Amino acid sequence: MSSNSSSRREFCKKSLLVLGAAPFIAHGLTPSRAYAQGTKAIAETDPQAMALGYVHDATKVDTTKFPKKKEAGGENQKCATCMLYVKGGLKADGMEGEYGQCSIFPQGLVAANGWCNTWAKKA
């Protein structure tokens, strides 16, 4: 595969991520301000979390459904290394470990060691 096609794919991926934040910006909110319940972790059973394969423990991803996680370097894919993970170092009610915010899931915090299929390498 050419590096041109790879860069184009990367550009498209990043553009989609930026567009994902557009609803917050349009309402005068930054993604971090859009959090209604900032101390609650998102539930793995949340319909959106399930659709994107979100889990609090990146080692427990169902790679048959989400093969991206088993690509080369997939072992390094987790929220803490994702470009959408911000304000790490938070605690989530009743949960162990570090949590942070993610604009994909404004309804709850995501685990530093979590993962979802939207993962994109932090620049």
| Site of interaction with ligand SF4 (CB under 6 A) | 54, 79, 82, 84-85, 102, 104-105, 110, 114-116, 118-119
Are 79 and 41 in contact, with CB atoms under 8 Å apart? no
* Alpha helix stretches (DSSP H) within 2-68: 3-26, 47-51
Residue 29 or 113 with smaller CB distance to ligand SF4: 113
* Least CB distance to ligand SF4 at residue 28 (A): 22
Minimum CB separation from ligand SF4 for residue 97, in Å?
Answer: 13
Q: Looking at beta carbons only, is 41 or 116 nearer to ligand SF4?
A: 116
C-beta of 35 vs 114, nearer to ligand SF4 = 114
**Tokens 């860069």 appear where?**
7
Least CB distance from residue 104 to ligand SF4, whole Å?
4
Q: Rg for the chain (alpha carbons), in Å?
A: 14
d(CA 91, CA 26): 29
Q: Which is nearer to ligand SF4, 3 or 95 (CB)?
A: 95
Handedness of CA 82, 65, 38, 28 (dihedral sign): positive
CB of 16 to ligand SF4, least distance (A): 11
